[in-house]
Structure 1
Amino acid sequence: MTAEASAPIGLPGGPYDPPHARVLALAAAKWAAQPISALASLGVADVLADGPRRVADIAAAVGAHAPSLHRCLRAAACVGVFEEQEDGRYGLTPMADCLRRDAETPIRNWVLMLNEGPMWDSFGKLTETVRSGKAAFEVAHDRPLFEHLDKDAAFRSVYESAMGELTSELAAELVTALDFSGYGTLVDLGGGDGELLGTLLAHAPDSQGVLVERPHVIELARERLARLGVAERVRCVAGDATDEVPGGGDAYLIKNMLHCFDDDTALAVLRKVRAACHDDARLFVIEAVVPPGNGFHWAKLIDIEMLADNDGRERREEEWRDLLERAGFTLERVLPATPPQSVLVAHPAPAPYATPTPDSTPN
């Protein structure tokens, strides 16, 4: 078997290469990541949606330098993103198809967020993070990620779009794995554009919803909820989900928010949820769960993004269990979902439970 045949799709090198070549392939991942990002930014996948085209035609359509574009297409094709036909035309592969703006499972904004601008720059400071513990993003940009998002509207748009791209797939999976129709009111904290809450409510016609998000996101959410046909059943609360937790909910949803925080901040948020919910409510935390052992898992790599970006982290199941217990919840079960996500289902524990200490709750 040749090294080329053994290489996993999307990553150069393979187990039959010598160790130094495999390490080099990992360290040089930018050789694939940046061409793919450039092609995504130019909208090449959209141009190829109707079929393969010659490089000169693609370059003319996207406004690119044809020889440079060809080299990026060739590099992306060798790792399975795009493909060169025998006649020299380039076309989509299943992976390249995901870069279309209207793809069934789009990841274009994820690719741009990770490989362009502020987040790409911050990774050059990761060694400083390992030395000092200070987030690489703050080292690179002299301000924390979320403060930067408030001041950089263009990057914020890409960031928020990326956060919503994979939600539709997850939402569709949740409505088949869990029955939310028994919950009168669903409260989604930091619910983005409303895709998750709206999908759940579309399958629970007798339920109401509350969505808590920042003011500029609320307007996008109202549009999404209207398209899903549930807008009249959702109360939108403009605010910071880390500060404001509406009471009266029967089910509370927190998706991909707690991993952005250190344990003290995540604990403070969870305690606000516990104080807001009644004893028969349920909490659904949608996050990655780090498995034990040396095997590959996305959570172990996403954890490095959290290390670089802010004070957040991915957590093992026992760490989630401990965090929930300290906040006054009991972890019932962990359901696997669309990788790398899992759904942690918890219920309020009877009082007394661990109470905040002066040094564990942020001001």
Structure 2
Amino acid sequence: MTAEASTPIGLPGGSYDPPHVRILSLVAAKWVSQPISVLAELGVADILAEGPQTPEELAETLGVHASSLRRCLRATTSVGVFTEHEDGRYGLTPMADSLRRDAPDSIRSWTLLLTKGPMWDSFGRLAETVRTGKPAFEVAHGATLFEHLDANPGFESLYETAMGELTSEVARELVPVIDLGSYERLVDVGGGDGVLLGTLLQHYPSAKGVLVERPAVIELARQRLADLGVADRVRLVAGDATKDIPADGDAYLIKNMLHCLDDGTALTVLRALREAGGNDAPLFVIESVVPPGNDFHWAKLIDVEMLADSDGRERTEGEWQELFSRAGFELERVVPATPPQSVLVARPVADRI
């Protein structure tokens, strides 16, 4: 059998590994993700930010088993997360640095969200989703994702912090990508902890904002907006984003909420946005766009997360166009942002709701 030259997405392997070995490198991804998760939970990257240490030194600080810690560290060095020096001490790499709590582009909470507890458990039930169409999260936990969030404050906090980590990076990049400087009032629907709206308001000091979120999230947003120094310019609306949308916005933002929803519910939200904004207010949707063809794209994998978690989905540009059109919008353009995100700019079609 002739091996194809290819580098797998999962565990790095030789370019000429046979196909069955390359598949193994994909399905064995837990061998990488779980050691990374353990080290993130322990805060190893935070300690190593002060300088390299031996596993024994780390173990004494953390109160854990030194040999087990060493083995997890060694596993991550093979994929570029952490590095072992010749003297046996371990240190940070750029990837490991992103596991620090205070790193500018930290994904520590996101790492823990995907690799522990409810989100991890639900993926073991994905086959039942394929058989029945019922989200694996509901099969595993007997409740929808958002019902589970409302009932578990600790999970809710981790979820919103994780979403905020990814949003923070995108928010910083939006300013040069999309000019929002001409809008006096920005309405962020389903805006999580407020980092997107707050970051934009930092760049547009004359603008004001409105944030619509579930009641359980509003207090998190209040603190984040205060930390960003813009709380006095934001009105918080605790409510249902499918219907409680203020009608006084000059522009509307919605990030990574529509992909959590089936087409019918997403259409309801878009129609509510269209009605609230009237014939003038544009809509800026931050989501992934699934490209055609066989090439790798994160949206194709995130789509499986949506399949497992809820009735949501990632959508192609054509599917976004159709959804916007049914809601009374015209998709004006798609602007690439931080992968895998894009900004879909939609304009209301006059007198069509």
Q: Which whole-Å CA distance do the structure 2 matches of 1:290 and 1:202 have between them?
A: 31
Instruction: For residue 145 of structure 1, report the CA deviation from its aligned partner.
Output: 1.1
Partner of residue 222, structure 1? 222
Once the two structures are superposed, the pairs formed by residues 330-349 of structure 1 within 5 Å of their partners are 330-349=330-349
Query: CA deviation digits over 1:38-61, x for unaligned, max 9?
Result: 111111111101111000011112
2:308 maps to amino acid: A
2:15 maps to amino acid: P
Partner of residue 19, structure 1? 19
Q: Which whole-Å CA distance do the structure 2 matches of 1:199 and 1:32 have between them?
A: 33
Q: Note if contact 1:10-1:81 (Cα within 8 Å) is conserved in structure 2.
A: no
Instruction: For residue 212 of structure 1, report the CA deviation from its aligned partner.
Output: 0.8
Instruction: For residue 15 of structure 1, report the CA deviation from its aligned partner.
Output: 3.3
Partner of residue 236, structure 1? 236
Structure 1 pair 331–14 and aligned structure 2 pair: CA distance change class (3 A): farther
Q: Note if contact 2:161-2:193 (Cα within 8 Å) is conserved in structure 1.
A: no
Partner of residue 168, structure 2? 168
Partner of residue 150, structure 1? 150
- After superposing the two structures, state which structure 1 stretch, 300-309 or 160-169, moved more: 160-169
Partner of residue 104, structure 2? 104
Q: Secondary structure at the residue paired with 1:12?
A: coil
2:294 maps to amino acid: N
Once the two structures are superposed, the pairs formed by residues 302-317 of structure 1 within 5 Å of their partners are 302-317=302-317
Q: Secondary structure at the residue paired with 2:197?
A: helix
Q: Note if contact 2:8-2:26 (Cα within 8 Å) is conserved in structure 1.
A: no
Once the two structures are superposed, the pairs formed by residues 39-188 of structure 1 within 5 Å of their partners are 39-188=39-188
Q: Which whole-Å CA distance do the structure 2 matches of 1:143 and 1:227 have between them?
A: 33
Q: Which whole-Å CA distance do the structure 1 matches of 2:14 and 2:314 have between them?
A: 27
Q: Note if contact 1:15-1:22 (Cα within 8 Å) is conserved in structure 2.
A: no
Once the two structures are superposed, the pairs formed by residues 242-261 of structure 1 within 5 Å of their partners are 242-261=242-261
Q: Note if contact 2:187-2:209 (Cα within 8 Å) is conserved in structure 1.
A: yes
Structure 1 pair 277–242 and aligned structure 2 pair: CA distance change class (3 A): same
Instruction: For residue 271 of structure 1, report the CA deviation from its aligned partner.
Output: 0.5
Q: Note if contact 2:210-2:237 (Cα within 8 Å) is conserved in structure 1.
A: yes
Q: Secondary structure at the residue paired with 1:166?
A: helix
Query: CA deviation digits over 1:223-278, x for unaligned, max 9?
Result: 22223222221111111212311102110000010000000000000001111112
Query: What TM-score do you get using the length of structure 2 for normalisation?
Result: 0.96
Structure 1 pair 9–87 and aligned structure 2 pair: CA distance change class (3 A): farther
Q: Note if contact 2:191-2:211 (Cα within 8 Å) is conserved in structure 1.
A: yes
Q: Which whole-Å CA distance do the structure 2 matches of 1:279 and 1:14 have between them?
A: 56
Q: Note if contact 1:188-1:210 (Cα within 8 Å) is conserved in structure 2.
A: yes
Q: Note if contact 1:9-1:79 (Cα within 8 Å) is conserved in structure 2.
A: no
Q: Are 1:210 and 2:194 an aligned pair?
A: no
Q: Which whole-Å CA distance do the structure 2 matches of 1:209 and 1:176 have between them?
A: 19
1:191 maps to amino acid: G
Q: Are 1:265 and 2:265 an aligned pair?
A: yes
Instruction: For residue 352 of structure 1, report the CA deviation from its aligned partner.
Output: 3.6
Q: Secondary structure at the residue paired with 2:305?
A: helix
Partner of residue 361, structure 1? none
Moved over 6 A (4+): none
Q: Secondary structure at the residue paired with 2:79?
A: coil
Tell me, which stretches of 5 or more residues in structure 1 are unaligned?
Answer: 354-363
Instruction: For residue 8 of structure 1, report the CA deviation from its aligned partner.
Output: 6.7
Tell me, which stretches of 5 or more residues in structure 2 are unaligned?
Answer: none
Query: What TM-score do you get using the length of structure 1 for normalisation?
Result: 0.93
Q: Which whole-Å CA distance do the structure 1 matches of 2:118 and 2:243 have between them?
A: 27
Instruction: For residue 156 of structure 1, report the CA deviation from its aligned partner.
Output: 1.6
Q: Secondary structure at the residue paired with 2:146?
A: helix
Q: Note if contact 1:189-1:212 (Cα within 8 Å) is conserved in structure 2.
A: yes
Q: Note if contact 1:53-1:89 (Cα within 8 Å) is conserved in structure 2.
A: yes
Q: Which whole-Å CA distance do the structure 2 matches of 1:14 and 1:284 have between them?
A: 43
Q: Note if contact 1:145-1:309 (Cα within 8 Å) is conserved in structure 2.
A: yes
Query: CA deviation digits over 1:96-121, x for unaligned, max 9?
Result: 11000001101011110111011111
Structure 1 pair 320–38 and aligned structure 2 pair: CA distance change class (3 A): same
Q: Which whole-Å CA distance do the structure 2 matches of 1:256 and 1:311 have between them?
A: 14
Partner of residue 318, structure 2? 318
Q: Which whole-Å CA distance do the structure 2 matches of 1:37 and 1:223 have between them?
A: 27
Q: Note if contact 1:109-1:162 (Cα within 8 Å) is conserved in structure 2.
A: yes
Q: Secondary structure at the residue paired with 1:281?
A: coil
Structure 1 pair 275–313 and aligned structure 2 pair: CA distance change class (3 A): same
Q: Secondary structure at the residue paired with 2:13?
A: coil
Q: Note if contact 2:8-2:25 (Cα within 8 Å) is conserved in structure 1.
A: no
Identity of aligned residues (%): 69
Q: Which whole-Å CA distance do the structure 2 matches of 1:55 and 1:101 have between them?
A: 20
Instruction: For residue 91 of structure 1, report the CA deviation from its aligned partner.
Output: 0.6
Query: CA deviation digits over 1:195-216, x for unaligned, max 9?
Result: 1111111222222111111223
